[in-house]
Every structure is written in structure tokens, then in C-alpha cells.
């Protein structure tokens, strides 16, 4: 009789995982949404939006926050405010969500793909530095899933080459980093700006939405202008050709409710994340993202690790993921490709002439040289959604037991034909 659930055996886990968004947060959000509905101020920089922007900036240890309509528009507004012009180059990691790179295209600049670190799965500073040219203006490190970019290395690189740093912190609500001077700063508050998403699956959500945080007031005012149709934030301020990237007061109400719960949720996720680091790090062919000792608190959009197929005797990453799913573990293989390999990465030279090097329809198309981004995305990446870390240590142990079970029966797991792996 088969031992593996994928072949008819008994799964390790049948109990449900914690719900996301959490019912407790939803109940409190109802009260604040009702207050917003009766306030007569449903949008346009209302009091709840202003309160949330201030409180979230403080939460991340930044001085200013500007709410926007999404994590993508946060990046666009920050790049606009940074003065990025047509043909400027912006370094981004090869492995990230497409918005990190597409936001660069939206301001008519050129995303330049650097490789990721084998340890953290985040932007590798040495790879990024090798790509700096006279046209490079910005570097966008991404704090990926349950990992943190080496921000000391990124900031040192930026200082030496006179670059701006815009952190893509869409996965890092609550991450804290100890800087060289000993000061602890939140993700997004280390560089010149930090961009967050509040999309439905994020660890702080209003269904959709985003925010840009910054420490420079003038820079924050420019971001506000670009998100608010170009209006100057203060009397006598600068008008720009902007966008409507605003959020509603109802979204701000939901975010305020979520922010009140975030500290406790971060504590639970971080404890379970560290538990999994210890348990999974001891298993053959499983390599969790390295937790840098400068990380004071790690936020999780998901739990991310590398599956090393060469150790698993013929088991592919996709087969491993399906085996985990059958055992009751909500695993996924990430996005399945680096940005430039995603099916919706369509860069036509007619629309994006400065980024024509990425036009796949062109006969001289040459993919970026990011060997580990390719290997990790196509063969190794496994992620677990952050809601799984909101349970108990027993819940986290179920994840480890399921992987141990697959390892013990890897010969059976490998028998599935590769066509369905």
C-alpha cells in the first residue's frame, strides 16, 4: 500500500490552516468602515488615510508616508518623484514579481536585471554592481517573501555610485534591520523610499492599495503630488504631470484595523519562521532563506526555501510541491519563472524603445545573464503562504513532518512520469 497521499496514502494533515484575512480583523474593520461611511469623507486624503499614513510610517520607523492605490503605483510614483527620465537605467533583481520591473517601463526607463543571492534569494549586490553604467540612476532591492536583502551592501553600493535606493518592500510589512550605526530601521525606511502593497494576499491588506514611505519631506511631497493628479501638497509647492493613484477612506479604515493586529501577527509568524528554519534546515536537500543576523524581526509574505532536486534522487520541484499539497500542505512553486521569463513579460520596442533589448520578438533578443535567478525559479523555489505561519508550533511541525515523509519515500515520489511532475 502506498505511503504517500499523492498515491492514495493517508495525508499528514487534514485540519484547515488559519484563515486569511483573519475574521478578528474583519470584525474590527466593520466598525471603522461604518465610521468612515457616516463621516461624509469617503476619499481625497481623508482623516483615516492621513492617520494610517502617519502610523504606518512610524511603524516602519520612517518620517513620512503617502498612501497610493497599489504596490505597483507606489513604485511608479517613487520613480517619478526621483526624477527618472527616458532611457535611465534601474537595476532590479531577476527574481521578483513583474511589477518591480514593469513600473520601470511605465516611466520609460530601462530595467536592468541583476542576479539573486543563493543564500537569501534577494538581489545580490555584487551582481548589481557589475551592471552599473553612466546611465544607472536607481537600484530597487526586493525583500522577497520571507527574506531580507543585505541592505548594508546595497546602501554602500549606492553611495559609491551616487544611486538612489527605492526598496520594494511589498512583502516586508514589519521587517526590522539593524544598520551599521546600530540604529534599527524598518524595511523601506533604509533607502530613499520604500514601497508597500496592501493587495488581498499581503500580510497587511485592504484588498488593494499601497504606500510609499520616505524620510525626506520634499521627496514625500513630490510623491504625494504624483499620486494626486499632480497637485502641489502645500501652498507654493511644485505642480507636476501626475496620476490618480489615490485610495479611499474605506480602504484606510480597513488598514487601520489591520495595523492594530499586525504586531501580534508578526510575532507569531516570526517565531514559526525561525522554528521552520531550524527544522527544515536540518533536512536533506531543503535550504531555507538565510536569516541575516542583522534582521531584528522578519516579516513573512510567505515562507520561502530552495528544494535541491539533485539531492532528491530524481524528484522534480513540481512533483515535490504536488506531493506536499497532497499531504495537506499549501505549497507552491513560486511564480514559475524569473521576470523576463514570465508569459506576460511583453516588451515591444514600439512602446518601450529604450528597453528594446527585452523584445522577445526581435531576432537579437538576449535574455539577461542571471543564472541563479533562472535555476531558483525554474527548479528550486518553494513557497508557503504566510497564513500557515499564524498557527501554533504544532502546525509548523506538520510542515516539517510532511517534508520528512516525502524524503523517506522519495523513491515512490519519483516514480511519477516527468510529464505530470
DSSP 3-state percent helix, strand, coil across the chain (nearest 5): 40, 15, 45
Q: Please give the Cα distance from 217 to 390 (Å, whole number).
A: 36
Q: Please give the Cα distance from 319 to 417 (Å, whole number).
A: 10
Which one, of 377, 367, 317, 298, lies nearest residue 116 by Cα?
Answer: 377
C-alpha angle 333-321-6 in degrees, rounded to nearest 5: 155
275, 156 Cβ separation under 8 angstroms: no
For residues 12-42, b (16+ Cβ closer than 10 Å) or e, as one string? bbeeebbebbeeebeebbeebbeebeeeeee
Helix (H) or strand (E) holding 73: helix 71-81
Pairs from 288-293 (Cβ < 8 Å, separation ≥ 24): 289/119, 289/120, 289/121, 289/144, 289/145, 289/146, 289/147, 290/119, 290/120, 290/147, 291/147, 291/148, 292/120, 292/148, 292/150
- 202 catalytically annotated: yes
- 283 DSSP assignment: S
Catalytic residue among 30, 41, 202, 322: 202
Q: From the DSSP assignment, how many helices (H) and strands (E) are in the chain?
A: 12, 13
Q: Please give the Cα distance from 32 to 22 (Å, whole number).
A: 16
255, 25 Cβ separation under 8 angstroms: no
Strands 286-288 and 89-93: unpaired
Active site residues: 202
Amino acid at each position: 500500500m502506498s505511503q504517500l497521499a499523492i498515491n492514495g496514502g493517508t495525508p499528514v494533515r487534514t485540519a484547515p490552516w488559519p484563515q486569511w484575512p483573519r475574521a478578528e480583523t474583519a470584525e474590527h474593520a466593520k466598525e471603522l468602515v461604518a465610521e468612515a461611511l457616516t463621516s461624509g469623507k469617503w476619499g481625497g486624503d481623508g482623516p483615516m488615510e492621513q492617520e494610517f499614513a502617519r502610523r504606518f510610517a512610524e511603524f516602519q520607523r520612517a518620517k513620512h508616508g503617502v498612501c497610493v492605490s497599489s504596490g505597483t503605483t507606489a513604485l511608479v510614483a517613487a520613480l517619478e518623484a526621483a526624477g527618472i527620465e527616458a532611457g535611465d537605467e534601474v537595476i532590479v533583481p531577476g527574481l521578483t514579481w513583474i511589477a518591480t520591473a514593469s513600473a520601470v517601463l511605465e516611466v520609460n526607463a530601462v530595467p536592468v536585471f541583476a542576479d539573486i543571492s543563493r543564500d537569501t534569494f534577494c538581489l545580490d549586490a555584487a551582481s548589481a554592481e557589475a551592471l552599473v553604467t553612466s546611465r544607472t540612476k536607481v537600484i530597487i532591492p526586493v525583500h522577497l517573501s520571507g527574506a531580507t536583502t543585505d541592505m548594508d551592501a546595497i546602501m554602500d553600493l549606492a553611495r559609491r555610485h551616487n544611486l538612489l535606493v527605492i526598496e520594494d518592500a511589498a512583502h516586508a510589512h514589519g521587517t526590522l534591520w539593524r544598520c551599521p550605526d546600530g540604529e534599527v530601521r524598518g524595511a523601506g525606511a533604509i533607502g530613499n523610499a520604500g514601497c508597500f502593497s496592501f493587495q488581498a494576499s499581503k500580510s497587511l491588506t485592504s484588498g488593494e492599495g499601497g504606500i510609499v514611505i520616505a524620510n525626506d519631506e520634499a521627496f514625500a511631497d513630490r510623491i504625494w503630488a504624483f499620486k494626486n493628479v499632480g497637485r502641489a501638497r502645500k501652498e507654493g509647492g511644485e505642480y507636476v504631470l501626475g496620476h490618480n493613484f489615490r485610495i479611499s477612506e474605506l480602504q484606510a479604515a480597513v488598514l487601520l484595523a489591520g495595523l492594530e493586529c499586525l504586531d501580534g501577527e508578526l510575532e507569531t509568524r516570526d517565531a514559526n519562521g525561525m522554528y521552520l528554519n531550524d527544522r527544515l534546515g536540518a533536512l536533506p536537500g531543503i535550504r531555507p532563506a538565510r536569516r541575516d543576523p542583522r534582521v531584528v524581526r522578519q516579516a513573512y509574505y510567505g515562507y520561502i526555501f530552495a528544494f535541491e532536486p539533485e539531492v532528491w534522487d530524481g524528484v522534480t520541484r513540481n512533483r515535490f510541491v504536488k506531493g506536499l499539497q497532497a499531504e495537506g500542505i499549501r505549497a507552491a512553486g513560486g511564480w514559475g519563472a524569473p521576470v523576463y521569463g514570465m508569459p506576460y513579460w511583453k516588451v515591444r520596442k514600439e512602446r518601450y524603445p529604450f528597453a528594446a533589448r527585452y523584445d522577445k520578438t526581435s531576432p537579437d533578443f538576449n535574455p539577461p545573464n542571471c543564472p541563479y535567478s533562472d535555476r531558483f525559479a525554474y527548479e528550486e523555489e518553494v513557497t508557503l503562504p504566510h497564513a500557515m505561519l499564524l498557527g501554533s508550533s504544532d502546525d509548523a511541525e506538520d510542515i516539517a513532518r510532511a517534508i520528512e515523509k516525502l524524503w523517506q519515500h522519495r523513491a515512490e515520489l519519483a516514480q511519477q512520469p516527468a510529464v505530470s511532475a
